Structure 1
Amino acid sequence: MGATNHRPALAPAPFAVVPVLAVAATVAAVLTALSGRYGYHRDELYFLAAGDHPAWGYVDQPPLTPLLARAATAFFGDSPAGLRVPATLGCAAVVVLVAALARELDGGRAAQLLAACCAAASGIVLGTGHMVSTTTFDLLFWVLICLLVLRALRTGDGRWWLAVGAVAGIGLLNKYVVLLLIAALSAAVLATGPRRTLRGGWLVAGSAVATAVVLPNVWWQAEHGWPQLTVAEGISSDDGAENRLMFVPQQIVYLSPLFVPVWIAGWRRLWRDPALRPARAMALAYPLLCVLVLLAGGKPYYALPLLLVLLAAGCEPVARWMTRTARVAVVAVAVAVSAAMSAVVSLPLLPPGALSVVNAVNREQGEQIGWPALVDAVETGWARIPAERRDRAVIFTENYGQAGALTRYGPGRGLPRPYSGHMGYADWGPPPGSADGPVLLVHQDGDDGLTRHFTGCRRVARVDNHHGVDNEEQHAAVVLCTGTTRPWPELWPRLRHFY
């Protein structure tokens, strides 16, 4: 690849190791203390089930998060607290990386500490750190990629592209939206420079590394007819209009309304400060990424990692502004108020019965309530099946959350394996041909269309989470049917759905 040819780079300020690690440790301690307060999220139950069916891919996601879920419960215990250890560690790492971004952007120790505090107080970091999701690790990979790209642009050392490629490849094994970041950063660097870092063999080598890492998953998707495209199309068609409408408000809320002046200052600094000329691409990459997300109808939080970069850039001018005690107090209060608001919205602090207001802002809170109660209702329905017919009976659910809850809690109540046509569960079925007896259906309140595939259906139980939380499974119906309208192998393609 030839000799490395790069210009000397100004050394960043010393890293504020002790205070930054103290902030990260505090966040980790809080998350650990609260990790088991409510219960599993529906997606976590699905990841646990998917982890028990290891593969190079699934119809709706790459393999990394399910494998991490499986490893976490194996090492730390089969509980919400054990499962969430990787999420807690990932959140702490993001706090440290945002401080490192501030350092990379010529921020001193005060700016680094402020960046760590702002990250720790933001809703997106706390929310994704509380529970395991693909977004949890996506945030970590995006922030790390941005840090490595900034290092490559600042130093001109092409060898950093190898690290970028490795992290991007692993990130793609977690969530494909990393491609949006790569596209936005590539276009921004081409437009603003420094383009010299794109020349030579190191960028090609880094791309090869990323391709090699993600290739097994790409092969799996190709072998299965690219189901991820179907899932993405469904998300865009179902939620695209709402995502576009709520894009700006959720950007502000997920980070913190009080941090808006900081990241605006960061954008202006990246765009105008001659000392940060190599990092100007980050200022352009954020609006480019927003355009890509809006065009795709993606979730508003897809663009938040780059907003954290702007936040980190804005911490240096804010730190310089904090020259008087009164100004320090203003910033401290803003961070504290943001942390309090983010914690209430993102973490399980309130009693479940008081979640109605929070649930309107962050429905993920409510989705952690009531899964054992759902299984109790199914157990009630199962008891209505005569004992001599249960060996031929089937439990079938509308979605993977219901199936995941029954997979996790059902064996302890003597219930058999559940089946579902939703997402990856469709690949783990159908029931055996001998299962021609009664079918116990579980479907959300009002979604009665599923019953058309079954005969002699009557409701035998109803889900009540006992907290009045208006989540997707509250008042779900448990319906006992005498059988199916056609054999399971013929019926199964009709039962499969992706959203």
Structure 2
Amino acid sequence: MRLNFPARQYPLPKTDHRKSMTRKTTILLAFIALKFLLQYVLILPSYDLHRDEYLHLDQADHLAWGYMSVPPVTSWIALIIKTLGNSVFWVRFFPALCGALTILVVWKTVEALRGSLYACVLAATCTLFSALLRLNQLFQPNSVDVLCWTTLYYFLVKYIQTRSPKWLYGIAVVFAFGFLNKYNVAFLVIGVLPAILLTEHRVLFLNRHLYFALLLAIVLISPNIIWQYQNDFPVFHHMKELSERQLVNVSRADFFKEQFIYFIGALLVIVPGFYALLFYKPFGKYKLFFFSIVFTLVVFTLLRAKGYYAIGIYPIYIAFGAVFVAERLKSVWLRAAFIIIPITIFIPVSRVAFPNKTPKEIVDGSGRYKRAGLLRWEDGKDHEIPQDFADMLGWEELAGKVDAAYAQSPDPESTLVLCDNYGQAGAINYYSRKNVNAVTFNADYVNWFDLSKKYKHVVRVKNAWEREAEIKETAPLFNNYSITDSVTTPYSRERGATIFLFVNAKVDINARISREIQEEKW
């Protein structure tokens, strides 16, 4: 007899873990790909590099453990860029890479906080569509700085979760790398240490591994400290000059205003994140992060810091906020809205925050730039276009015209190309077809004069408003001189910069340069 048993009812199989991880990885990679794409398309090819970028690129030819304005990490990256061909593509690639890695660290922080896939996507969206898109366009220490801040906070989260000493040593290594990139990372420590004292994590100061990690950090940064000592601590001179010329024009009210602007699309996540750090029970052990941001912002405010110095603070708080918001939002429509809002806000912001319009178009629509405060330069005055954009114009023209003047010299090999500022010197060195070694008594170039050559002629690049003074001061030292050309690019900060050719010196040029160098260093 045949028995007919009912078919066995097996439970539906759970979603395969590998498929889930593959889906997660695919979404993450999509964000990273979009990050790279936006970094390149949000800038018109007609813009040159920024004046600061030329200085950093020139550091590749003058490797040292320190420079007058920055520690050495930027020069290491510049050397890699030079090895890869020194093209604009690679100059923009590495800041974009730092931005992509920042998104990755934020994503990993959400995962460490047990956030869902939606929380990861929300955090990545808020991080992507923020001021980081502008920051990551320029080859400056700032992109590495933000990455180091975010990574340090992430390692602190992991230490709180595991109490494993390896995270303390990881913090030490990242801090040292961040310090060797930009001293700004010290303000993170200034904020975190008192915050630890205010919470139950104060027992950390009884952990011997903390002091071993501190020793490791000191050893790693010591080459730069020794360099500073050997060079009479130029960082203090730079900070004094910065305070007198730029930070004195920084309004504390503007500092806080800029904090809102930088991550305006992420405020719906960041603000709940602050609340969660104080009152959300699963975040109870992370309360020190709330106190940390308070201490850091207070110090920045007291020192009249520029607004962008604090950008590195916020990505970690986006991670906290995304986890909390994702846990609270159950409606599909609300979840979709929280993803759409940062993108929607970014669209009008992108119309003014990026060099994706010609200078003429910016001037014609200057109202929106003025309302956003973008026409105000570091001198405290409003100008025709944003300062950063003006600093990305006229450089290639300048280099071409200096090349032409250099070729007119009776003996190019004994001709010095002397500029007024580091932007001019760096841009000439970057774009020159004549392998010109331009220098200036400004910034690190004061250490880069090649006095093994005997100079008889000078190609001089002088700011427009000092043209007559240059003729009066320098012309008597030579048998002949001519004005060969000037920068004509509209709206360039260097517009009007005049190119002189002084030939057949009547005095010892090398001796005068040596005196100038000593006076500048003194």
Query: Do the two structures share a fold, i.e. TM-score over 0.5?
Result: yes
- Of 126, 135, 149, the residue aligned with 1:142 is 149
Distance 1:49 1:450 in 2: 29
CA shift, 1:318, in A, is 3.0
Deviations, residues 94-124 of structure 1 (Å, cap 9, x unaligned): 111122233334432211210111000001x
Aligned-partner SS, 1:198: helix
Matched, 1:92 2:107: no
- Of 235, 239, 257, the residue aligned with 2:242 is 235
Aligned-partner SS, 2:499: strand
- Of 163, 173, 190, the residue aligned with 1:166 is 173
Distance 1:220 1:227 in 2: 10
Aligned to 1:30: 38
Unaligned runs of 5+ in 2: 1-19, 377-385
CA contact (8 A) 1:346 1:365 kept: no
- Matching of residues 311-326 of structure 1 within 5 Å: 311-326=318-333
Please tell me the residue identity of whatever aligns with 1:218.
I
Distance 2:469 2:301 in 1: 33
Aligned to 1:6: none
User: Higher Cα Rg: structure 1 or 2?
Assistant: 2
Aligned to 1:370: 394
Aligned-partner SS, 1:388: coil
Give the stretch that moved more between structures: 371-380 or 182-191: 371-380
Matched, 1:388 2:410: yes
- Matching of residues 193-272 of structure 1 within 5 Å: 193-245=200-252, 246-256=254-264, 258-272=265-279
Deviations, residues 122-168 of structure 1 (Å, cap 9, x unaligned): 01x11222221100111111100010012112333333100000111
Matched, 1:445 2:445: no
CA contact (8 A) 1:397 1:419 kept: yes
Aligned to 2:380: none
Give the stretch that moved more between structures: 207-216 or 271-280: 271-280
Deviations, residues 219-269 of structure 1 (Å, cap 9, x unaligned): 11111111111111111221223334321122122222x333422221121
- Of 4, 27, 30, the residue aligned with 1:19 is 27
Please tell me the residue identity of whatever aligns with 2:139.
V
CA shift, 1:92, in A, is 0.6
CA contact (8 A) 1:90 1:136 kept: yes
Give the stretch that moved more between structures: 295-304 or 428-437: 428-437
Distance 2:362 2:450 in 1: 37
Distance 2:142 2:231 in 1: 24
CA contact (8 A) 2:269 2:325 kept: yes
Give the stretch that moved more between structures: 39-48 or 489-498: 489-498
Aligned-partner SS, 1:60: coil
Aligned-partner SS, 1:442: strand
Aligned to 1:403: 425
Distance 1:94 1:402 in 2: 32
Please tell me the residue identity of whatever aligns with 1:71.
I
CA shift, 1:446, in A, is 2.5
CA shift, 1:487, in A, is 4.3
Please tell me the residue identity of whatever aligns with 1:221.
Q
Distance 1:393 1:242 in 2: 39
Relative to structure 1, the CA distance from residue 110 to residue 435 in structure 2 (aligned partners, 3 Å threshold; closer, same or farther) is same
CA shift, 1:444, in A, is 3.1
**Backbone CA RMSD of aligned residues:** 2.9
Distance 1:274 1:329 in 2: 26
Distance 1:447 1:191 in 2: 56
CA contact (8 A) 2:95 2:137 kept: yes
Matched, 1:424 2:424: no
Give the stretch that moved more between structures: 419-428 or 308-317: 308-317
Aligned to 2:486: 462
Relative to structure 1, the CA distance from residue 346 to residue 103 in structure 2 (aligned partners, 3 Å threshold; closer, same or farther) is farther
Distance 1:493 1:121 in 2: 50
Distance 1:263 1:161 in 2: 26
Matched, 1:43 2:23: no
Aligned to 2:115: 107
Aligned-partner SS, 1:440: strand
CA contact (8 A) 2:123 2:318 kept: yes
Give the stretch that moved more between structures: 477-486 or 168-177: 477-486
Relative to structure 1, the CA distance from residue 158 to residue 388 in structure 2 (aligned partners, 3 Å threshold; closer, same or farther) is closer
CA shift, 1:395, in A, is 1.6
Relative to structure 1, the CA distance from residue 273 to residue 364 in structure 2 (aligned partners, 3 Å threshold; closer, same or farther) is same
Aligned to 1:8: none
Distance 1:497 1:252 in 2: 40
CA contact (8 A) 2:194 2:292 kept: yes
Relative to structure 1, the CA distance from residue 453 to residue 94 in structure 2 (aligned partners, 3 Å threshold; closer, same or farther) is farther
Please tell me the residue identity of whatever aligns with 2:236.
L
Matched, 1:70 2:94: no
Normalised to the residue count of structure 2, the TM-score between the two structures is: 0.83
> How many residue pairs get matched?
475
Aligned to 1:9: none
Matched, 1:436 2:456: yes
Aligned to 1:57: 66
CA contact (8 A) 2:393 2:493 kept: no
CA shift, 1:16, in A, is 4.3
Aligned-partner SS, 1:473: coil
Relative to structure 1, the CA distance from residue 484 to residue 278 in structure 2 (aligned partners, 3 Å threshold; closer, same or farther) is farther
CA contact (8 A) 2:460 2:500 kept: yes
Normalised to the residue count of structure 1, the TM-score between the two structures is: 0.86
Relative to structure 1, the CA distance from residue 409 to residue 201 in structure 2 (aligned partners, 3 Å threshold; closer, same or farther) is same
Distance 2:49 2:482 in 1: 29
Aligned to 1:130: 137
Relative to structure 1, the CA distance from residue 497 to residue 282 in structure 2 (aligned partners, 3 Å threshold; closer, same or farther) is farther
Unaligned runs of 5+ in 1: 1-12
Distance 1:63 1:55 in 2: 7
CA shift, 1:49, in A, is 0.9
Distance 2:506 2:430 in 1: 26
Distance 1:85 1:393 in 2: 35
CA shift, 1:492, in A, is 4.4
